Amino acid sequence: MKKTTDEIREMFLCFFKEKKHIILPGSSLIPENDSSLLFTNSGMNQFKKLFLEKTVNPQYTRVTTTQNCLRTGGKHNDFKNVGYTSKHHTLFEMLGNFSFGDYFKKEAIIYAWEFLTSKIWLNLPKKNLWVTIYEHDLESYNIWKNIIKIEKEKIIKIGNKNKQKYTSENFWQMSDTGPCGPSTEIFYDKGNNLFGKPPGNNSNNGIRFIEIWNIVFMQFNKLNNGNIVKLSRHAIDTGMGLERVAAIMQNVTSNYEIDLFQPTINLIVKMSQTNNLNNIHINIIADHIRSSSFIISENIVPSNEKHGYVLRRIIRRAIQHGHKLGIKSLFLHKLVPTLINSMGIYKPILEKKQKQIESILQLEESKFINTLEKGLKLLEIEISKLKNNVLKGEIAFKLYDTFGFPIDLTTEICHEKKISVDMLEFKKNLKNQKKKAKKAQFFINDTGITIPRKNSISSNFIGYNIKTSKSSITNIIFDNTYLQTVPKDKHKKGMLILDNTPFYPELGGQIGDIGEIYNTNGIFAVYDTQKFGDVIGHIGKLISGNLSINDIVHATIDSGRRSMIQSNHSATHLLNSSLRNILGNHIFQKGSYITNQFLRFDFSHHSSINLQNIQKIESVVNEKINQNILVKTEIMEFKEAKNKNIIAIFQEKYGEKVRVLSIDNFSIELCCGTHVKRTGDIGLFKIISEKSVSSGIRRIEAVTGKIAISIIHKKENELEDIATILKTKSKNVKDNIQKIISKNKELEQKLKNLYTKENRKLVNKLANNCVIVKNVNVIMQTFSNKDSKTLRNIIDQLKNKLKSAIIILVNIFEDHAIFIIGITSNVSKKISASKLLNIFLKKLNGKGGGKDVIAEGSVKNLIALREEITNIKNWISSNL
């Protein structure tokens, strides 16, 4: 009897529950507190501490789980195999049983054999099962041979590679050091009618022998010197691939033929130009729509780094293979409902995120489709020019740099055509591009301002806690020239550089300070502060007196303005954390602009934020403000900050030392900007707008303190003005407006009824006065007070009434006329509305368009129109 994937999963968990295992849920696809992995790639990930013996007394010693795993990079990378084999996937489900200091080799092997072969469980034929072991693991060999009694010819010993210790495929290691041990794998023979050699043979690329279960005996610890010692507590780590076992139980040769994939594959076939259900491109799309949907359900969005990059890569690969199937329109999001319906126990989880999944897929596909088409055309041209089977790295770089065509997509397309890509040359071009900026003869900042490069220039920011300093002028730059004194031309702007300065330069989204640099000899007004590498430039002009190189000056910032900037900057950090708490961990900053008047925050998100969530976000931020939390800063090693998963919201390059800003445990981020001492200093936080700035990127603008209060007052004044106009109190405005809307609807309905009555009379009049030409009712009428909608309605009524008719209605305005032509379907075979329209347009130089039964246009030549109406009557008569 065939078993569904849901039934097999349930049987597995029930079996191990009977063996006194605790059923635990699988972990998230995004590993918690594990920076070594982007995605969960095995069932054992959530138990790492137990395997590493960091937990002295585990609360459970026998566990069973079902775990979604993603393998698209690193040691376990199935990405390039997906679609091209019948057994590999980006996302797959691993069924596992684990023992921590409890049972070991004998029980683990017996449990696996019983579940696979017992008549009350999977009941697989014993003769079809083969196993592999580590060649030095005699204990496992004897268990298989003497207890399980499997034929010794079907027990394959796998040795070390190149005679190096512990390099066998059947010796599992967590990493270069740490827990490790021999493993045994169980293979299923699908029959000699399929291609493939027994396990352990390096040439085994067929589909006859399929690995279905791997049992790792965690009994050693590998040291830095390469030696291994026994662990104080042995463990068992197993994994059985659900999709592979389902293919066996459902008697199909490919994983893509099981119940999980077939509904999606059938839909892809309908969308494509192929009838082949085993098409490689279809398999890839079916796999990738599943994995991308699960990743998005974890609140990951496509981006150019980390989790988002993997997601983008999967989506774009699916789009490319859809293109190969002849699917030219956006299609991935249309697969989601069918996919979700076939996901069994995961259906409720995915349904909650369905709109989000569909929206993100549609956005990403619409962004990439143009890039794909341009890149494919250029790549095809370049491939056609090849004299050998190597694509120049220079061409691959041009595709990447000019057209945004991913390098991995280029290599995959070339691989399919048995063409290699010169990756050394590609990397060389990429490296040269990065070097160009370093060879510039100018210091350049983000605003585009340049100053000549001079090695002796340096400056030091000291303004986190002070607002006035005693400093020395080290450089004066006007018109890209280094001077000894500041020019006295009051209209000329230039730049001063000080050895120490309290002026914060524009950086990390925060605008630069303004203020004054002065001494008893002169005053220099600073209108902006910018950063050039390690140099801080004070941009402004001389107000009075004179200033020269090496002068000792007072540098004083506008402290009131700085305080407002600090309020907005600290509020931005609170906003960022609030967004992540309320909308999800997929929120990442994509840009910010922090001024003394407002803050602007750009972030990754797939759809608009409704008013309810806007108010939730405001409430959370204001709650933290009211708590008057101390804002702390500390200098930390970048590696330490990275290990602690502290958010680097500006995604810049950081040095060895970084500044960490923390607001309680609510917000902990890397930030070089200036901030309030306590959150209470912010006063009040108010969001004033939320909108889209590009695909998948939203923008919030907000204000704080006195400006927030003034915004609220402005809204109150506007409400009071509306109340005055309505002659009511502000608290009654909503009720009064609803009454006005109801009254308007009532009046609109009365007006509509009058128009309907009038039109009915007009339709009867036109029908009674029509001209009959060869059994066809011909009506031509001009108006001066009808809109297009009314004319179309009249035409529809006349068609229903007359059954066989040509109707031309014209409405004349002061400087132009619109006309609508309606023809019943039985007459349109002789004279179409669009053809009749074109006669008008050609002779009267108008514009318009339409179909066989309806067409609409406009003309400006009103004098010729009347004459042409007469001519068209004659044309109709001669062509019917």
Within 8 A by CB and 6+ apart from 584, the residues are: 299
Q: β-pairing, 129-134 with 155-158? A: parallel
Per-residue pLDDT, 437: 46
Q: CA torsion, points 779, 780, 786, 790, in degrees to nearest 10? A: 30
pTM above 0.85, yes or no: no
Tell me if 121 sits within 8 A of 242, measured CB to CB.
no
Cα 286 to Cα 261: distance, rounded to the nearest angstrom? 7
Query: For residues 339 and 289, is the Cβ–Cβ distance under 8 A?
Result: yes
Q: What residues pair up with 604 in beta bridges, in sequence order?
A: 697
Joined tokens for residue 483 = 């001077």
| DSSP 8-state symbol, 548 | B
Q: How far apart are CA 493 and CA 537, in angstroms?
A: 12
Structure tokens given for 40 = 């969960």
Residue 633, H or E segment = strand 631-637
Q: Residue 371: helix, strand or coil by DSSP?
A: helix
Complete DSSP assignment for 94-109: EEEEEEESS--HHHHH
Contact at 8 Å (CB) between 831 and 806?
yes
Query: What are residue 99's DSSP bridge partners?
Result: 62, 236
Q: Where are the domains of the chain?
A: 5-257, 262-368, 386-438, 444-557, 562-713, 762-879
List of E strands, 302-455: 390-391, 420-421, 442-444, 450-452
- The binding site comprises 569, 573, 671, 675
Count other Cβ atoms within 10 Å, centred on residue 842.
Answer: 9
Coil, strand or helix at 626? helix
Give me the residues of the chain with pLDDT under 50, please.
76, 437, 440, 448, 648-653
Q: What is the 3 state secondary structure string of 819-880?
A: EEEEECHHHHCCCCHHHHHHHHHHHHCCEEEECCCEEEEEECCHHHHHHHHHHHHHHHHHHC
Sign for the pseudo-dihedral over CA of 173, 174, 175, 177: negative
As a whole number of angstroms, the distance between CA 856 and CA 861 comes to 16
Judged by DSSP in three states, 682 sits in: helix
Alpha-carbon distance of 754 to 590, in angstroms, equals 56
The β-bridge relationship of strands 776-783 and 805-812 is: parallel
Strands 500-501 and 522-532: unpaired
Could you say which architecture CATH assigns to the domain 5-257?
A: 2-Layer Sandwich (3.30)
- Let me know: does 101 contact 61? Beta carbons within 8 Å: yes
Task: Please report the pLDDT score of residue 472 as a whole number.
Answer: 95
* C-alpha to C-alpha distance for 495 and 540, rounded to whole angstroms: 6
Between CA 716 and CA 30 the distance in angstroms is 46
Which phi and psi angles does 554 have, rounded to 5°?
A: -95, 130
- Do 673 and 562 form a contact (C-beta atoms < 8 A)? no
Count CB atoms within 10 A of the CB of residue 233.
18
Q: Which helix (H) or strand (E) holds 746?
A: helix 733-768
Helices 332-341/280-296 angle, 10° precision:
80
For 369-394, write each residue's pLDDT tens digit: 877 777 888 888 888 888 888 888 88
Number of H helices, E strands in the chain: 23, 37
Reduced to 3 states (helix: H, G, I; strand: E, B; else coil), residue 701 is strand
5-257 matches 562-713 in fold: no
User: Three-state SS for 517?
Assistant: strand
Backbone phi, then psi, for 215, in 5-degree steps?
-115, 120
Residue with tokens 């960490």: 660
Answer whether 529's CB lies under 8 Å from 674's CB. Answer: no
Structure tokens at 414: 């070339």
Checking 649-652 for CB contacts under 8 A at 24+ apart, the result is 649/573, 649/576, 649/588, 649/589, 649/592, 650/508, 650/509, 650/589, 650/592, 651/305, 651/589, 652/508
Distance CA 54, CA 534 (A): 44
Helix, strand, or coil (residue 313): helix
CATH architecture of the domain 562-713 equals: 2-Layer Sandwich (3.30)
For 496, residues 6+ apart whose C-beta sits below 8 A from its C-beta are 473, 475, 476, 477, 486, 517, 524, 526, 537, 538, 540, 547
- Run of H or E including 274: none
* β-pair type (420-421, 390-391): parallel
Q: Are strands 468-478 and 494-498 parallel, antiparallel or unpaired?
A: antiparallel
Question: CATH 2.40.50.140: does it fit domain 444-557?
Answer: no
Q: Return the pLDDT at 863.
A: 72
Question: In the structure encoding, which two tokens stand for residue 857, read together?
Answer: 């246009």
Binding residues for Zn(2+): 569, 573, 671, 675
- List own/partner pairs for 683-689 with CB under 8 A and 24 or more apart: 683/567, 683/625, 683/708, 683/709, 684/622, 684/625, 684/708, 684/709, 685/571, 685/574, 685/575, 685/618, 685/621, 685/622, 685/625, 686/618, 686/711, 686/712, 687/614, 687/617, 687/618, 688/598
CATH fold label, 762-879: Diaminopimelate Epimerase; Chain A, domain 1 (3.10.310)
Mean pLDDT of the chain: 86
For residue 867 the two structure tokens come to 């004459």
Is 825 in contact with 793 (CB distance < 8 Å)?
A: no
Distance of alpha carbon 764 from alpha carbon 790, whole angstroms: 15
The first and second tokens of residue 758, run together, are 């009038």
pLDDT digit string, tens, across residues 429-464:
877 776 654 554 556 555 545 666 666 677 899 999
Spatial contact of 253 and 277, defined as CB atoms under 8 Å apart? no
841, with CB counted inside 10 A (0-12, 13-18, 19+), is: middle
d(CA 865, CA 504): 71
Quote the CA–CA distance of 469 and 557 in Å, as a whole number: 9
The set of residues, in sequence order, having a beta carbon less than 8 Å from that of 56 and lying 6+ positions away, is: none
Identify the pLDDT of residue 73: 59
